[in-house]
Structure formats: structure tokens, C-alpha cells
């Protein structure tokens, strides 16, 4: 093969565009004598050939590799320690958070008992009447304001072209 063909095949090889036959041609070419400019590439192809011919001599190769990895791996006692303490801390955080939320729910479900503030029942009745009267006045005042809002809503509905019957039907459904 001439040098231009080799250069073209090498370009295709580096771009991963060669076929298997073209790669075989490159390997065959670099097994023989090559010019000084391509000696590094020839060394690479020779290395590939040597590596391809090597066989795994150990019958249980996977187990051997795993045991060697375990022998050369650092223990990492500090990481294991932080991992164990981290698990314990996370568990405590979960327990504390659960306790907090359960206590909050218990306070909502079972409020503390209300004790009497008045020892005299007549005085308590008078205070209750005052409170109910105040609520009644506020309710009546609010009812008047709602009437104003109702008039405004009816006017708005007339402007939009809705009939009063449709809105009443909608209000009764709600």
C-alpha cells in the first residue's frame, strides 16, 4: 500500500469510520517495516496485537480481580463512622419531628378544659346576655351591608344580561 492510502485509512480509523477489512489492512501494514514518521502509530498497532493475543490464565478471573480490589481499597473508617452517625441522627430527627406534630394534633383535638370564670351564676348569665346582644347587633349590621351588596350584584347581572332567575337557580345550587 502506498503512503496516501495509509494516510486516508488512518484518517478514517481516527474518525471511527473504517470497516473491519480496512482495519485488518492497517494492522497488516504496521506489522512490517514502516517509515519513521509512522513509528508511533506502528507501536500502537503492535501493542493492540500483543494485547489481543494475551489470554486470561486464571480460571476464576472475576473473583481474583475482586479480591485484589478489596485488598487495595482504603478502609475509610471516618466515612463509615459519619455514615453510621448520620443514620442515627436522621432517625432522631424523624422521631423528634413526629413527636412534635403528634403533640400539635393532640392539642387541637383535645384542648385544655375550660374552667368557670364566674363563681356567681347570675353574674355569668348577665355577661352572657351582654355578649349575645353585642353579637346580635353586629349580625344585624352585617345583614344590612349584605343587602347593599346584593343590590350591587343584581345591578351587575342586569348589565351583563343575565336574568335574575338564572342567578337565583345558581345560588340555590350552591
pLDDT tens, 65-82? 888 887 776 666 677 778
Judge if 68 and 93 occupy the same domain.
yes
Query: What is the pTM for the complete model shown?
Result: 0.34
| Tens of pLDDT, residues 9-27 | 889 998 999 899 988 888 8
With beta carbons less than 8 A apart as the criterion, state whether 25 and 1 touch. yes
Question: Distance (Å, rounded) from C-alpha 79 to C-alpha 142?
Answer: 67
Same domain, 161 and 135: yes
| Range of the structural domain that residue 156 is part of | 121-173
Decide which of 16, 34, 54 is a domain's last residue: 54
The mean pLDDT of 49-60, rounded to a whole number, is 77
Amino acid at each position: 500500500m502506498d503512503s496516501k492510502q495509509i494516510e486516508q485509512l488512518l484518517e478514517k480509523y481516527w474518525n471511527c469510520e473504517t470497516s473491519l477489512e480496512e482495519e485488518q489492512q492497517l494492522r497488516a501494514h504496521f506489522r512490517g517495516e514502516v517509515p519513521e514518521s509512522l513509528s508511533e502509530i506502528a507501536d500502537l498497532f503492535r501493542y493492540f496485537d500483543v494485547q489481543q493475543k494475551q489470554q486470561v490464565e486464571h480460571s476464576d478471573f472475576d473473583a481474583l480481580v475482586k479480591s485484589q480490589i478489596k485488598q487495595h481499597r482504603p478502609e475509610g473508617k471516618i466515612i463509615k463512622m459519619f455514615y453510621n452517625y448520620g443514620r442515627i441522627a436522621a432517625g432522631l430527627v424523624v422521631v423528634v419531628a413526629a413527636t412534635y406534630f403528634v403533640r400539635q394534633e393532640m392539642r387541637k383535638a383535645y384542648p385544655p378544659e375550660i374552667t368557670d370564670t364566674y363563681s356567681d351564676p347570675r353574674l355569668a348569665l348577665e355577661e352572657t346576655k351582654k355578649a349575645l346582644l353585642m353579637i346580635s347587633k353586629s349580625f344585624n349590621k352585617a345583614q344590612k351591608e349584605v343587602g347593599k351588596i346584593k343590590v350591587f350584584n343584581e345591578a351587575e347581572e342586569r348589565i351583563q344580561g343575565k336574568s335574575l332567575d338564572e342567578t337565583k337557580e345558581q345560588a340555590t345550587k350552591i
